[in-house]
Amino acid sequence: MNSRLLLAILLYAAASATAALVQDKGTLDPQPLAPLTNPNDPHLGAKELFGRKALPAPSAVRSIGFYAKGCLAGAQALPINGKTWQVMRLSRNRNWGHPDMIALLERLSDKVHEVAGWPGLLVGDLSQPRGGPMLTGHASHQVGLDADIWLTPMPDRELSRSEREEMSAVMMVRPDRLDVDPKAWTPSHLLVIRAAAQDPAVERIFVNAAIKKALCREAKGDRSWLSKVRPMYGHDYHFHVRIKCPSGSSECQSQPPPSEKEGCSAGDLAYWFSEPVLHPKLPTTPVKPRREMTLAELPAACRQILIAP
């Protein structure tokens, strides 16, 4: 990744980290978005186009492009109720993914039930029906291979529609942001994140740096899974699971495998606990709006996915 792109992603993430201090709620009465006056405007953000697609492109499954720059065909929906999971924020219509991701979530929720004693998982955003950039939140989640999982155990009952929109996950990080909150963090949280990291399909896991610090301190026995768990802005109510490009998906752009290092040294974490990251200064002058990723910047096949019936 070139350094300008990296910087852009970091700046975006820093901005959304501030916004993520309050968890977004959904609505019981989602309103359709107004039609676009000029959907062919070459400057239009691709999120405006992909954000208006309510159903997947009906074709063979394809994850096209990179996690933060791509789209998805033949997406499968994660059923909103499983034996060991429930989908949250149904109004967002983001429970779509590559079938490998759906299989991972089914497998992982079952494992978590077994190893951590949680009744199951509460699942947040996967991808939009055709993937692509989103109107709100997330730089990635574009190719059906990313999912957010709440750090709150699934209750032992079926949640109502309004609970799924309005219930809040539990903040895991202490107000000073330097460590996890002992009133919220439990040994079972480590077991859940470890179960995800130990799944061979999983490429990376993103958590808040305070959570990474706690995992480093508390992991016993085999610690090799820690190398997959990376600090990230936000991710203090939920963790983010990213799976590898599925085999045979030649259009999927993979990322380099994580290093073998645990990432637990003081040096590894120093950046995340530095003053500008812990307490980002709000800009004193109006910020120029970020230029939106256009359809032309996505892989060419994404145009076909978008216009498919």
Q: Which chain residues interact with Zn ion by CB under 5 A?
A: 148, 240
Minimum separation from the CB atom of position 138 to Zn ion (A)? 6
**Residue 121 DSSP SS3:** strand
Minimum separation from the CB atom of position 230 to Zn ion (A)? 11
Name the residue among 201, 101, 87 with its Cα closest to residue 145.
101
Contacts of 63 (CB under 8 A, 6+ apart): 70, 72, 98, 131, 143, 144, 145, 245, 246, 249, 251, 252
Minimum separation from the CB atom of position 263 to Zn ion (A)? 18
Residue number, 130 or 240, with CB nearest to Zn ion: 240
Minimum separation from the CB atom of position 39 to Zn ion (A)? 28
DSSP strand pairing (85-87 vs 146-150): unpaired
Residue number, 152 or 306, with CB nearest to Zn ion: 152
Q: Which two tokens stand for residue 12?
A: 């975006």
DSSP letter (8 states) at residue 175: T
Contacts of 1 (CB under 8 A, 6+ apart): none
Residue number, 143 or 306, with CB nearest to Zn ion: 143
Minimum separation from the CB atom of position 261 to Zn ion (A)? 22
Consecutive H or E run containing 109: helix 99-116
Angstrom distance (rounded) from CA 8 to CA 99 = 30
Residue number, 165 or 236, with CB nearest to Zn ion: 236
Minimum separation from the CB atom of position 309 to Zn ion (A)? 31
Residue number, 169 or 301, with CB nearest to Zn ion: 169
Minimum separation from the CB atom of position 293 to Zn ion (A)? 18
User: In the block, which residue shows the tokens 């995992």?
Assistant: 215
Sign of the Cα pseudo-torsion (9, 11, 14, 19, in order): negative
Minimum separation from the CB atom of position 75 to Zn ion (A)? 18
Phi, psi of 106 (to 5 degrees): -65, -45
Decide if 40 contacts 33 (C-beta within 8 A): no
Number of residue whose CB is nearest Zn ion = 240
User: In the block, which residue shows the tokens 């999982």?
Assistant: 149
**To the nearest 10°, the Cα dihedral for 69, 199, 262, 238?**
60
Minimum separation from the CB atom of position 48 to Zn ion (A)? 22
Angstrom distance (rounded) from CA 139 to CA 12 = 8
Residue number, 189 or 240, with CB nearest to Zn ion: 240
Name the residue among 242, 241, 257, 182 with its Cα closest to residue 213.
182
Residue number, 57 or 212, with CB nearest to Zn ion: 212
Residue number, 69 or 240, with CB nearest to Zn ion: 240
Residue number, 20 or 219, with CB nearest to Zn ion: 20
Name the residue among 67, 188, 75 with its Cα closest to residue 130.
75
